[in-house]
């Protein structure tokens, strides 16, 4: 958490604005302040501070779980990991606004704005790269890409003997899925998370890809899910079929939802709807 829909929502807010928060497109980064040096993955902190100064924000997008901010000369990549967030502060002189306890990196923008990277657990990372493919090139295809067809997805699955849930969460296989949206997509496709990827038929692969795309699009439409203190602002949690619903009745068949551990991750299933066929 956050996963693809939450990251997409944050990127869209930075790009288009939302409510009282204006877009930061076209603004100049006048300077930055690094309060937790390990938040900067590359380059060194002194070089980061030197290179970021004076660069203009030209585009804001997403790749997998990365927020991708294209600048005049470099690309700023932000990975929120477990507890990261980005917020824009608009009012007053940014130098006078008190920072919060978990603020790690601050970008001071023209027009008395600042972009703040907040990260309570300190797992999030920021890169400033001349070539973003140094990091982004490691990722698998985008699940919402039109180029990811059922046939292509089936071919990808056939190459692996891993359990389907850990494989879907492997960012080198498919970029953007995490625990929540994987559980929801597997339920929608009526697939048990312990199934081997190579066991799926071409029809099941197509149904799974459709479920993944539908689940992610609904998550984006609802601005992601707000389930803890880390990310707030979405309401997809109100649409969950299985995630976090242990012992509650399945909304399809009424069977109590079960929680098991798959690949060291808490996993929610309906044992009736997602039964492993012998």
Show which residues are catalytic: 2-3, 65, 265
Neighbours of 151 (CB within 10 A): 12
CA distance linking residue 171 with residue 155, whole number of Å = 17
* 66 φ, ψ (degrees, to nearest 5): -90, 135
Contact of 220 with 10, CB cutoff 8 Å: no
CA distance linking residue 275 with residue 271, whole number of Å = 5
Q: What is the largest CA-CA distance in the chain?
A: 65
DSSP H helices, the chain, are 4-16, 45-52, 133-136, 150-158, 164-169, 179-188, 202-221
Q: Identify the CA nearest to 33 among candidates 19, 46, 16, 21.
A: 46
Neighbours of 252 (CB within 10 A): 14
């Amino acid at each position: 958490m956050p996963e693809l829909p939450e990251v997409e929502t944050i990127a869209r807010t930075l790009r288009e604005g939302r409510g009282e928060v204006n877009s930061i497109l076209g603004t100049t980064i006048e300077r930055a302040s690094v309060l937790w040096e390990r938040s900067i993955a590359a380059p060194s902190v002194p070089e980061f501070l030197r290179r970021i100064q004076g660069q203009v924000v030209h585009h804001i997008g997403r790749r997998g779980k990365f927020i991708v901010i294209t600048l005049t000369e470099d690309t700023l990549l932000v990975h929120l990991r477990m507890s990261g967030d980005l917020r824009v502060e608009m009012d007053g002189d940014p130098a006078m606004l008190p920072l919060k306890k978990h603020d790690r990196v601050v970008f001071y923008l023209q027009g008395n704005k600042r972009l703040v990277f907040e990260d309570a657990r300190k797992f999030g990372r920021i890169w400033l790269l001349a070539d973003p493919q140094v990091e982004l090139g490691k990722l698998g295809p985008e699940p919402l890409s039109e180029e990811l067809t059922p046939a292509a997805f089936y071919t990808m699955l056939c190459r692996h003997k891993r359990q389907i849930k850990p494989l879907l969460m492997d960012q080198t296989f498919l970029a953007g899925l995490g625990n929540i949206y994987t559980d929801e997509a597997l339920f929608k496709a009526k697939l048990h998370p312990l199934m081997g990827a190579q066991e799926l038929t071409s029809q099941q692969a197509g149904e799974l890809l459709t479920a993944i795309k539908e689940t992610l699009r609904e998550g984006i439409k609802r601005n992601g899910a707000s389930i803890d203190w880390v990310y707030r602002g979405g309401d997809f949690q109100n649409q969950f079929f299985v995630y976090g619903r242990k012992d509650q009745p399945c909304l399809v068949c009424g069977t109590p939802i079960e929680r098991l551990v798959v690949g060291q991750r808490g996993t929610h299933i309906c044992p009736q709807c997602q039964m492993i066929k012998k």
